[in-house]
């Protein structure tokens, strides 16, 4: 989708994501995978290089996705010196919930949005012999422990509380998200648009 932009050369068309990026708005939409992680990292690097002081707003509307891709994004969010504010603009499920919860300068959830935590899942089509299945199981448990520790760090809840909450598909309303420590406050359009 393109939008009209006024410039000294008149009116030009610009992709809406480019325009929003120029206003320091980054989007995590759809499945989290290697490509979306790389795109996200490039955008954060670009905005951070341009201005380390002004905040970056990340709008999340995602069902989650790949653990390793999400953890790469998490590492960049945590190590970035630029303030990053998170906005849940629909759903932040699974890995997207972890990314939302790690916002270092505010975690805002819109009134009709939802967060969901659960244990890491196996990918489709997993095959192998007993030894390889055991190795996959060990890796999955290691990922679960790593993710539970991350969520614990950002919510203030104990790892045991996180394990209990994520032992099934646990959906949180905005109010429940705030109470559990996943979000800081209910978002408004004005919050998202402030520069």
Residues taking part in catalysis = 94, 118
Tokens, residue 162: 């996180």
Distance (Å) of CA 45 to CA 3, 21, 39: 24, 12, 10
Pairing of strands 56-62, 84-93: parallel
Query: 60 CB contacts (<8 Å, ≥6 apart)?
Result: 27, 28, 86, 87, 88, 89, 90, 92, 96, 99, 100
């Amino acid at each position: 989708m393109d939008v009209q932009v006024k410039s000294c050369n008149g009116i030009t068309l610009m992709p809406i994501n480019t325009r929003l990026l120029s206003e320091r708005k980054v989007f995590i939409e759809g499945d989290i995978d290697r490509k979306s992680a790389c795109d996200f990292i490039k955008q954060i690097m670009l905005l951070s290089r341009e201005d380390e002081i002004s905040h970056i707003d990340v709008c999340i509307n995602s069902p989650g996705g790949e653990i390793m891709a999400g953890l790469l994004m998490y590492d960049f969010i945590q190590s970035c010196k630029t303030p990053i504010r998170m906005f849940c603009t629909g759903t932040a499920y699974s890995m997207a919930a972890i990314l939302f919860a790690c916002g270092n300068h505010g975690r805002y959830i819109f009134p009709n949005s939802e967060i969901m935590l659960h244990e890491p899942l196996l990918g489709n089509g997993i095959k192998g012999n007993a030894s390889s299945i055991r190795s996959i199981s060990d890796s999955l448990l290691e990922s679960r422990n790593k993710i539970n520790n991350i969520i614990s760090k950002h919510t203030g809840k104990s790892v045991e509380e996180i394990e209990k909450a994520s032992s099934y598909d646990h959906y949180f309303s905005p109010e429940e998200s705030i109470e559990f420590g996943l979000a800081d406050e209910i978002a408004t359009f004005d919050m998202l648009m402030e520069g």
